[in-house]
Amino acid sequence: MDLHGWIDAFLNHLRVERALAKNSLEAYARDLNRLAAHVETSDVASIVPSDIAALLADNVRTGFGARSSARQLSALRGFFRFLVRERAISADVTALIDRPKLGRKLPRVLSFPEVERLLAAPDRNKPRGVRDAAMIHLMYASGLRVSELVSLTLSDLDTQRGVVSCLGKGGKRRLVPVGEAALDHVKTYLEGARHRHARPETRVLFVSPRGGALTRQGFWKLLKRYAAAAGITTTLSPHKLRHSFATHLLRGGADLRAVQAMLGHADLGTTEIYTHVAQDHVRRAHARAHPRA
- Predicted local confidence at residue 283, as pLDDT: 61
**Cβ–Cβ < 8 Å for 152, 204:** yes
Q: What is the mean pLDDT of residues 229-257?
A: 88
Q: What is the mean pLDDT of residues 62-89?
A: 88
- Predicted local confidence at residue 104, as pLDDT: 59
Q: In what order do the strands lie in the sheet containing 163-167?
A: 157-158, 163-167, 173-177
Query: Which of 124, 131, 137, 145 is an active site residue?
Result: 145
Query: Which of 71, 108, 169, 224 is an active site residue?
Result: 169
Q: Mean pLDDT score of the chain, rounded to an integer?
A: 87
Query: Which of 185, 242, 243, 248 is an active site residue?
Result: 242
* Burial class (CB within 10 angstroms; exposed 0-12, middle 13-18, buried 19+) of 235: exposed
- Predicted local confidence at residue 117, as pLDDT: 96
* Domains (range + CATH), the chain: 3-85 (1.10.150.130), 112-289 (1.10.443.10)
Told to judge if 226 belongs to the known catalytic residues of this protein, a careful annotator would answer no
Q: What is the mean pLDDT of residues 77-88?
A: 94
Each residue of 29-49: pLDDT tens digit? Answer: 999 999 999 998 889 999 999
Among 89, 11, 91, 95, which residue's Cα sits nearest to residue 52?
95
- Is 187 or 61 the better-scoring residue by pLDDT? 187
Query: Which of 196, 239, 283, 284 is an active site residue?
Result: 239
Query: pTM of whole model > 0.85?
Result: no
Among 150, 246, 254, 129, which residue's Cα sits nearest to residue 202?
150
Query: Which of 28, 189, 226, 274 is an active site residue?
Result: 274
Q: What is the mean pLDDT of residues 157-162?
A: 91
Under the banding of pLDDT at 50, 70 and 90, the label for residue 281 is low
Greatest distance between any 2 Cα atoms in the chain? 71
Tell me the CA distances in angstroms from 272 to 66, 100, 225, 275, one per residue in order: 21, 21, 31, 5
**Cβ–Cβ < 8 Å for 97, 53:** yes
Each residue of 164-218: pLDDT tens digit? Answer: 999 887 778 888 999 899 999 999 999 989 988 888 888 999 999 888 889 999 9
Told to judge if 189 belongs to the known catalytic residues of this protein, a careful annotator would answer no
* Burial class (CB within 10 angstroms; exposed 0-12, middle 13-18, buried 19+) of 271: buried
- Predicted local confidence at residue 124, as pLDDT: 93
Which residues, in sequence order, are CB contacts of 11 under 8 Å at separation 6+? 25, 28, 29, 32
Told to judge if 274 belongs to the known catalytic residues of this protein, a careful annotator would answer yes
